[in-house]
Structure 1
């Protein structure tokens, strides 16, 4: 019975998140057999093939971790092709975008169903372990989904610039509610409320790593504050995470001859998720790792052999995904949270605060597990600025193809990093200057047409 209920509910909800027309036409119907118990809501949020395997891919497609041959590029979806060259209009004749817009808002909708359902059907179980886990998970998934949409479809965060347009904040299941773009400040405040609220309910250790936990929420809050350039709070939450989960995987224990050397669900993984299938072209054998990135690894740095393989034609391909090749698509990129990222965030924040010793301690603790045994010489720095440069360089090398590079480009350029992206495709050169309006991708045409919300300026 539960499987039938969830299948019916998924079909209805997919209609709802696909377009505004669905929101208008589907009427509230109490006779519709939808989830109405803690167990139902937990099952809904445990649908990992939908909830966990749908992180937006356009940021990674647009970032500078790789390049692709023209023949391969020609086979991509229109919006992936155009995002790759930072075109002003990426959608052309593609009216909708399930991967980057609809799927995150589906997660928002599912979360709202659970949050409202707990209050309507299960208040008598409030405070139980099961009730708390659903409540915390729903808040986490909603905040996470809104965060990812904000990183694709809004200007980079600024606390001093004029308040830019944010994203629609769907906080209820009201099907006739009109979608409007909140301000950017309001968008970030809502994400903060959801993630901070989840901490009141989530467990320290989840039953499964596809479920959120307190360490995952701490880590995501740290990532959020990092993109807000609020480094004291990013430090606070990274530290809170590492006080609960601080495991590091020693790459000397891995086999570089394995197809995917880094195992999935390894000891560093705090929360398991993947980036949408649309990224398969970005990680496939026809897409080539940026040569500057690849050459930046020392030969004794095991990441050079654990993350990358040389293809039959000599091209360098990425195989270091933390999914371990065990996801439904082995080419899926890891889109979850792992301790290595949190260590690097804490190290960066220590450096920005002038605490060079603590910054390098975190960095060296991670790096000794990445280099061939007996070859690593601990990093040193004359001052905080030099420490920060080293840490940002290692962050670049530690976390490719996780969706983080786009976030880093946005925030670092807004601080004056002056990173210009460039690509050559079929003899034509394309560039993306720092702080260009194209760092906010266009909202899908069907959303604009059906809701009337303003489009991003490209």
Structure 2
């Protein structure tokens, strides 16, 4: 049995130092009382500890295409090994015995889990109103559930009801301790814990939130809808999408926006049900700029405001680059949201209807979103010729709406076994061609060798 500190390589020791520096400072000034419930409010207000998410899924997905020699050459630098190795679906993303052997995605999620476990373990014996303790407990449970949903969709196999009970998921750590087994729980066990956490949290969450970083009922409903979607339980996904939309359904009307329009800040954007952000937000930084693949680019037209507002010609990024680049973060000044949102609930609803044979109703939900995304002077509603056609249009709309939000990689994983969406992806990097077939084991990202070497019970992905 290894120490849990090894699990996230001690890089997140900021939990006790930098991560809670303001908390410690306040305590030494006498503003906080030991074991008082207020302490945990301060801990949960440490936004960066709970909001920061992942990056690797975007790099593995078919939304991205790094084709220019200058950019490929820059990514050969060891500093960007994670980018290159993920983009080419390598067996090892973080080479052992280098200064980049730690997986930031893994570290970030387990550091968040450690924090939430501390709060969940200590809150019951803290001093303060039971109502306050219940609310803080609920917030911690939502943050933990989101972390596990992220981990299992990156390092576990896609959910398959017939094999999930034996497929390897991720270590399931639910208590506050530094000494736990790091054996991987099954995919089924991890998903059931996510559902348990969210459902336990719901009664004690507020219907509204002061900031989008704080979990609320719509946050939990949204994560439940997302969880059931990735379990392919579309009926329950629709139920919880409806519950979220009953409380939050506001859309930003991009149809009339211009490049100089003020876009809502993430912290109070009415579309966001729970703000989660990519671990690296500099997506327009020249070496790591995200170029839209031809496949993704073909889904947009010049009337789509997501194309007009959030992508730019390559010349805006580098004089040596070609194509079109994702530029949302530079334009809005905000990191992209990975958390559940109103548009996601609408498209989960649409997908559930399409799969239930209700193509026309599915297209109504897609069009309700598109009215706020396409120039009003050019908008025409989409129609479907069949249930399959409706489903394809829903998935295409997901790609347009959530490009570079991690969800495309998760969608590729869950859809790869469906004939309607099966395809082999090919990309060339530094003169070598790489392919990702529908049955490839590389749809499950590898666990860093550093972690498996230090923790022999932590089984690698094949």
Which interval holds the TM-score relative to the shorter structure?
A: 0.7 to 0.9
Alignment of 1:54-133 (within 5 A): 55-68=53-66, 69-75=71-77, 76-93=79-96, 94=98, 96-122=101-127, 125-126=129-130, 128=131, 130-133=132-135
- Counterpart secondary structure, 1:269: coil
Deviation at 1:108, TM superposition (A): 0.6
- Residue of 18, 21, 25 corresponding to 2:8: 18
Indicate the residue corresponding to 1:418 in structure 2.
Answer: 422
1:353 to 356, 369, 374: 356
Return the alpha-carbon distance in structure 2 between the equivalents of residues 229 and 88 of structure 1: 27
Q: 2:140 maps to which residue? A: 138
Change in 2 beyond 3 A, CA 1:22/1:199? closer
Query: Measured at CA, do residues 187 and 285 of structure 1 come closer, stay the same or move farther in structure 2, by a change above 3 Å?
Result: closer
SS of residue in 1 equivalent to 2:433: strand
What is the aligned partner in structure 2 of residue 9 from structure 1?
Answer: none
1:405–1:22: structure 2 CA closer, same or farther, 3 Å change rule?
closer
After superposition, the Cα gap between the structure-2 partners of 1:81 and 1:125, relative to the gap in structure 1 and judged at 3 Å, is same
Partner of 2:405: 402
Q: Quick check: 1:437 aligned with 2:441? A: yes
Q: Distance in 2 between matches of 1:207 and 1:384?
A: 40
Separation of aligned partners in 1, 2:285 and 2:89: 15
* Contact 2:8/2:106, CA 8 A, preserved across alignment: no
Contact 1:67 1:288 in 2 (8 A): yes
State the alpha-carbon separation in 2 of the partners of residues 62 and 117 from structure 1. Answer: 39
CA contact (8 A) 2:310 2:331 kept: no
Distance 1:293 1:22 in 2: 36
Give how far 1:388 is off: 1.0
Secondary structure at 2:434 match in 1:
strand
Paired residues, what number? Answer: 429
1:115–1:135 Cα contact (<8 Å) kept: yes
Structure 2: unaligned runs, 5 residues or longer: 17-26
Partners of 2:209 and 2:438 in 1: how far apart?
A: 40
1:149 match: 151
Partner of 2:49: 50
Q: Partner of 2:328: helix, strand, or coil?
A: coil
Q: Which moved more, 1:279-288 or 1:105-114?
A: 279-288
Question: What TM-score, normalized to structure 2?
Answer: 0.86
CA spacing shift, 1:35–1:65, aligned 2, 3 Å: farther
TM-score by length of 1: 0.86
Describe the superposition over 1:344-391 as per-residue Cα deviations: whole angstroms up to 9, x where unpaired. 111011111112232112111111111111321112223322211111
Look up the match of 2:390: 387
Question: In the aligned structure 1, how far is the partner of 2:282 from the partner of 2:189?
Answer: 30
Shift of 1:287: 3.6
Rounded Cα–Cα distance in structure 2 between residues aligned with 1:345 and 1:454: 34
Q: Indicate the residue corresponding to 1:7 in structure 2.
A: none
Q: Secondary structure at the match of 2:227?
A: helix
Alignment match, 1:319: 327
Contact 1:133–1:201, Cα closer than 8 Å, also in 2:
yes
**Is the 8 Å Cα contact of residues 263 and 324 (structure 1) preserved in structure 2?**
no
Name stretches of at least 5 consecutive residues in structure 1 with no aligned partner. Answer: 1-12, 27-31
**1:160 aligned to which of 159, 162, 165:** 162
Per mean C-alpha deviation after superposition, the further-off stretch among 206-215 and 293-302 is 293-302
CA distance in 1, matches of 2:434, 2:181: 38
Given that 1:254 and 1:262 are in contact with CA atoms closer than 8 Å, whether structure 2 keeps it comes out as no
SS of the residue 1:422 aligns to: strand
